[in-house]
Structure 1
Amino acid sequence: MSIRIRTAVLGVAGLLLAGCTSGGDAPGTDASPTGGAKNPSAAPTGTPLPAALTGQRPRWRGCPAPEGGEKPGAGWRCADVKVPLDYKKPAGETITVALIRKEARDKDRRIGSLLFNFGGPGASGVEILPRAATEYAGLNERYDLVGFDPRGVGRSSAVVCRDDKEQAASEAGTDLTPDTAAEEAAFVKDGTAFGAGCARRSGKLVPHTTTSNTARDLDLVRHVLDDAKLNYFGISYGTQLGAAYAHLFPANVGRTVLDAVVDPTADSTGHARNQTIGFQRALDNYLKNKGENPKAGTARISALLDRLDRDPLPVGGRKLTDSLALTGIVMPLYSESSWPMLTSALQKAESGDGSELLQLADYYNDRDRNGHYSTQSHAQRAISCADSAERPTAAQARALLPEFRKLSPVFGAFLAWDTAGWCANWPVKGERSKSDVSARGAGPILVVGTTGDPATPYEGAPRMAKALGDGVGVLVTNKGEGHGAYGTGACVTKTVDAYFLDGKIPSYGKTCS
């Protein structure tokens, strides 16, 4: 889905939001209790899942250290749950979904489990939740905090498409904004090779990595954890997953928050257009903040990218290309607290030192110092292309260039070409073009949008609240910068905590600033 929707945890801003105002005078009401339906998930055909799946209980154990990282701290335990590979064949082959949990501190007042998805798609909740747990310490008082790796991701049954050598060669040799016939041919060839690698290494799994299947997995996990309803915190792509769950299982929706909202009304071109607007808006805000005219600053950055396109900067044994530089610029725009990093990296690159922009790009691309890449980008593309039935061609992407370049001289060309770089020549068909997130019968769901969010622009939040349905979507507006609102200021955090812990629903349109 265009520029990778990074996890909000990686983009948490240091900004403290001063206060909040209500969108109306009516006091908040209480959310419905979390008790209710206990039926386990069923196949799309209505066939119940076999007892071997619905009767399983997690065997909690100590958690291993993530690759290149440290083991989670005290109190974290891990388990695996079996789910159907293909929900149309619920008694057939199974795959694994990995879980991590930290139990509620107040056992007497425990509400239940609270499941998190941090975005991507492809982000590992098993790795991220322990690192981010201090943000959710208040919720851990009465909830078991539960992270999971969706199907295709991390420690679950995972999609693998390339090795490190192939990934490095792709980065070095593929121009993501091709402007010659040869560069365009290489761009298309790279995308086709990526899909072929997924089919070769993970062909059995690739067709089944849809968001709707992950939503079905969530309902089985809810049942296996012995929760009557699913309490859920979705961030970025996690909002898309949470909305899909609400659509499929409205009676099983517990207290749910969607923060940094994916626009459910947009197709692949619409998402790219939204992000072109969102990232240029964030860049303009960054430039204004440092006292630079946005138009002049945008022209300066565009000139730098043009120079790097003609003559990449050497950095050790590597080169900072215009594509890697653009990736390095994108990363710090996710959080206002990272803006000084962007200033330093741009200043150095303009003086001939590309090391800091390359370091930012490596962080974004999940490349460590030893040249090893995670497989998050593999899962991200597999999930996105399994979801979307659209297969934009290079010619269609090329036709978007005038409009997108006008919207953003810095990001427009990349995001126009990216529509064809994702799923063209993908080895399997996608499920749909747009999402249906209507959730009639679900309890109130908080939908939180940030006005300066670059990756999931604010406009998607009211669209999601409306699409969920009357009495379901409850819009909360955060006036600020960055990708994700919770934890960046007292107003949003208190509003979300009051909802999760006390069932207090804010009035529709509440604004934090």
Structure 2
Amino acid sequence: MRRLRCGVAAVAAALLLAGCGRSSGGSGNEGKGTGTPAPPAGLPSSLTAQHLDWRRCEATGESAAPGDDWRCATLRAPLNWSEPDGPTIGLALIRARTIGDDRIGSMLFNFGGPGGSGVSTMPYYSATVSALHEHYDLVSWDPRGVGASEGVRCRDDRAVEAAEAVDTTPDTPAEEKAYLRDATDFGKGCRKAAGSLLAHVSTTDSARDMDLMRHVLGDERMHYFGISYGTELGGVYAHLFPKRVGRMVLDAVVDPTADTVGHARNQALGFQRALDDYLRSTGQDPARGSRRIADLLRRLDTRALPTSSGRKLNQTLATTGIILPLYSESSWPRLTSALKSAEAGDGSGLLALADAYDDRDSSGHYGTTSHSQRVISCLDDRRRPTPAETRKRLPEFRRISPVFGDFLGWDTAGWCHDWPVPGQFDTPEVSAPGAAPILLVGNTGDPATPYEGARRMADELGRGVGVEVTWKGEGHGAYGNGSDCVDSTVNAYLLRGRVPKDGKVCS
């Protein structure tokens, strides 16, 4: 998770901008609801009995208005779930009603991040889940602190661009001081922008929001498709409300046993693994190719490259530009071209990829996904390594990844440094005894959420709950990524309640 996004659809959109048999068990209630939707306990009727006013969606500063099939509404939820009668927050929802006659219910989607906008992503992703749309209403939302749900902007565009000059892999005391000072300044900006909201944007808060959505949408059970960080959110929901789990798919599964350092370690492993696969695909020896890329990054640490835009490509931007195309195998040729140009002295290709990842458009305007990502993950994460602890771990990170080790190692110290609110947990609680079977899909080549996370999530959910499916593929996420085996397995589960054998492998 950390600074590298866990949100497959949002990253796919960025890549486009860059140019580049066991039965389900039980009585069947995990499919169509057969009773009255149970309301979340302890809420006033003003929230549990609210009616959503679905209207045509409007364009926002971040995205154009979707087509006529889509409607948007605002759900009111408690700002502080410990004070259900207190102030509320408005959560932006988007929905397209099912296009078939045999409706199962609502399917709620979270596309990851954390901090990704479901309102802007759901229409883009709907073609991928067209088979599901035959039987489900497609529903998504902007989680609290994201997009139209009181999204947080911690810095203006000028400050974001200025911060790109900060060295995120400091080599001297002066660089380290500047790096940590920038982290402190960012946190202060978030506190000023978000106020009291900053303490109420956690994954647990969003999981409780989901249960209110389920009830207001009229569903007895929660049917859910979580991608990347959305798998952690789904696991937390299952822990809080195991008896309300319906048909739930978690794709590109986050390791729920990993703390702050563990997530960074996992991503160092995952992105280096993806880079090795990319290098092999181009006929290069992975060790030799990684050394060449690491040498390029070291040169950029002292001398930035010119670009056609007049801006400079520094080490941090180059690393970000290398990271983005590793999310999708179809973008590997773009990486080849950008690396070749950089080694010839032109940083334009890598800068374009970095700008796409950072949500920067041609006018210099930046999106807020990274701001929301940080405020959510820093509220979740209690473990905040010190710079001294980080320096001791750097040799380990460099052994895992000669290309990304320093970047991800230092990120553990800087991401939530001097954050203005305390974190809530070391690792999320996802045990869900008594829940219906939950399908977990892992991809052996996934860079952002290495496939080992699916097995760990299955173990944590508990015996008979987590059902693992492995795809031997590349890129972030599996469903809709080119595997007929994965797609048909997921569709059979979501549409017919057919749970595959635990451990199924799709080649």
The answer as to whether partners of 2:10 and 2:111 remain within 8 angstroms in 1 is no
Find the counterpart in structure 2 of residue 475 from structure 1. 468
| TM-score normalised by the chain length of structure 1 | 0.94
Structure 2 Cα separation of the partners of residues 52 and 229 of structure 1:
22
| TM-score normalised by the chain length of structure 2 | 0.95
Q: Which consecutive segments of 4 or more residues in structure 1 shift more than 3 A?
A: 10-13
TM-superposed deviation, 1:391: 1.8
Structure 2 Cα separation of the partners of residues 66 and 443 of structure 1:
38
What's the CA shift string for 1:275-306, capped at 9, x where partnerless? 11111100000000110000110011011101
Of residues 322, 325, 340 in structure 2, which corresponds to 1:332? Answer: 325
The answer as to whether partners of 2:153 and 2:368 remain within 8 angstroms in 1 is yes
Structure 2 Cα separation of the partners of residues 202 and 66 of structure 1:
20
Structure 2 Cα separation of the partners of residues 106 and 495 of structure 1:
20
Question: Is 1:487–2:480 an aligned residue pair?
Answer: yes
Of residues 224, 227, 230 in structure 1, which corresponds to 2:219? Answer: 227
The answer as to whether partners of 2:117 and 2:142 remain within 8 angstroms in 1 is yes
Of residues 152, 160, 170 in structure 1, which corresponds to 2:163? Answer: 170
The answer as to whether partners of 1:450 and 1:485 remain within 8 angstroms in 2 is yes
Identical columns (%): 58
The answer as to whether partners of 1:12 and 1:484 remain within 8 angstroms in 2 is no
Question: Is 1:76–2:70 an aligned residue pair?
Answer: yes
The residue type equivalent to 1:436 in the other structure is: E
TM-superposed deviation, 1:68: 5.2
What's the CA shift string for 1:114-134, capped at 9, x where partnerless? 000000000000000101110
TM-superposed deviation, 1:389: 1.0
Question: Is 1:86–2:85 an aligned residue pair?
Answer: no
Find the counterpart in structure 1 of residue 449 from structure 2. 456
Structure 1 Cα separation of the partners of residues 175 and 143 of structure 2:
35
Structure 2 Cα separation of the partners of residues 438 and 37 of structure 1:
26
The answer as to whether partners of 1:11 and 1:484 remain within 8 angstroms in 2 is no
Find the counterpart in structure 2 of residue 9 from structure 1. 9
TM-superposed deviation, 1:384: 0.4
What's the CA shift string for 1:161-200, capped at 9, x where partnerless? 11111111111x2111111111101100010000010111
Question: Is 1:133–2:126 an aligned residue pair?
Answer: yes
Structure 2 Cα separation of the partners of residues 281 and 274 of structure 1:
10
Question: Is 1:441–2:434 an aligned residue pair?
Answer: yes
Find the counterpart in structure 2 of residue 260 from structure 1. 252
Find the counterpart in structure 1 of residue 16 from structure 2. none
Structure 2 Cα separation of the partners of residues 302 and 178 of structure 1:
15
Q: How does 1:269-348 map to 2 (within 5 A)?
A: 269-315=261-307, 316-348=309-341
The residue type equivalent to 2:340 in the other structure is: Q
Question: Is 1:38–2:37 an aligned residue pair?
Answer: yes
The answer as to whether partners of 1:37 and 1:252 remain within 8 angstroms in 2 is no
What's the CA shift string for 1:177-226, capped at 9, x where partnerless? 11111110110001000001011111210111110000000000110101
Question: Is 1:403–2:402 an aligned residue pair?
Answer: no
The residue type equivalent to 1:511 in the other structure is: V
Secondary structure of 2:126 counterpart: helix
The residue type equivalent to 1:239 in the other structure is: T
Structure 1 Cα separation of the partners of residues 458 and 119 of structure 2:
29
Find the counterpart in structure 2 of residue 189 from structure 1. 181
Q: How does 1:94-109 map to 2 (within 5 A)?
A: 94-107=88-101, 109=102
What's the CA shift string for 1:11-48, capped at 9, x where partnerless? 569xxxxxxxxxxxxx3313633326732223xxxxx1
The answer as to whether partners of 1:388 and 1:431 remain within 8 angstroms in 2 is yes
The answer as to whether partners of 1:11 and 1:482 remain within 8 angstroms in 2 is no
Higher mean C-alpha displacement, 27-36 vs 459-468? 27-36
Structure 2 Cα separation of the partners of residues 166 and 375 of structure 1:
13
The residue type equivalent to 2:261 in the other structure is: T
Of residues 497, 500, 511 in structure 1, which corresponds to 2:494? Answer: 500
What's the CA shift string for 1:96-149, capped at 9, x where partnerless? 111000000123x10000000000000000000101110011100010000111
What's the CA shift string for 1:354-402, capped at 9, x where partnerless? 1110000011011111111111111101100111111211111111111
Find the counterpart in structure 2 of residue 198 from structure 1. 190
Find the counterpart in structure 2 of residue 366 from structure 1. 359
Structure 2 Cα separation of the partners of residues 237 and 273 of structure 1:
16
- Higher relative CO (CA 8 A, sep ≥ 6), structure 1 or 2? 1
Secondary structure of 1:504 counterpart: coil
Structure 1 Cα separation of the partners of residues 62 and 103 of structure 2:
34
Find the counterpart in structure 2 of residue 19 from structure 1. none
Structure 1 Cα separation of the partners of residues 137 and 151 of structure 2:
25
The answer as to whether partners of 2:63 and 2:120 remain within 8 angstroms in 1 is no
The answer as to whether partners of 1:230 and 1:255 remain within 8 angstroms in 2 is yes
User: Could you say what the CA RMSD is over the residues aligned between the two structures, in angstroms?
Assistant: 1.3
Structure 2 Cα separation of the partners of residues 118 and 398 of structure 1:
33
How many residue pairs end up in the alignment?
A: 493
The answer as to whether partners of 1:235 and 1:261 remain within 8 angstroms in 2 is yes
Query: Measured at CA, do residues 90 and 68 of structure 1 come closer, stay the same or move farther in structure 2, by a change above 3 Å?
Result: closer
Structure 2 Cα separation of the partners of residues 96 and 379 of structure 1:
16
Find the counterpart in structure 2 of residue 509 from structure 1. 503
Of residues 207, 214, 219 in structure 2, which corresponds to 1:215? Answer: 207
Runs (5+) with no aligned partner, structure 2: 14-20
Secondary structure of 1:477 counterpart: strand
Question: Is 1:357–2:356 an aligned residue pair?
Answer: no
The answer as to whether partners of 1:401 and 1:412 remain within 8 angstroms in 2 is yes
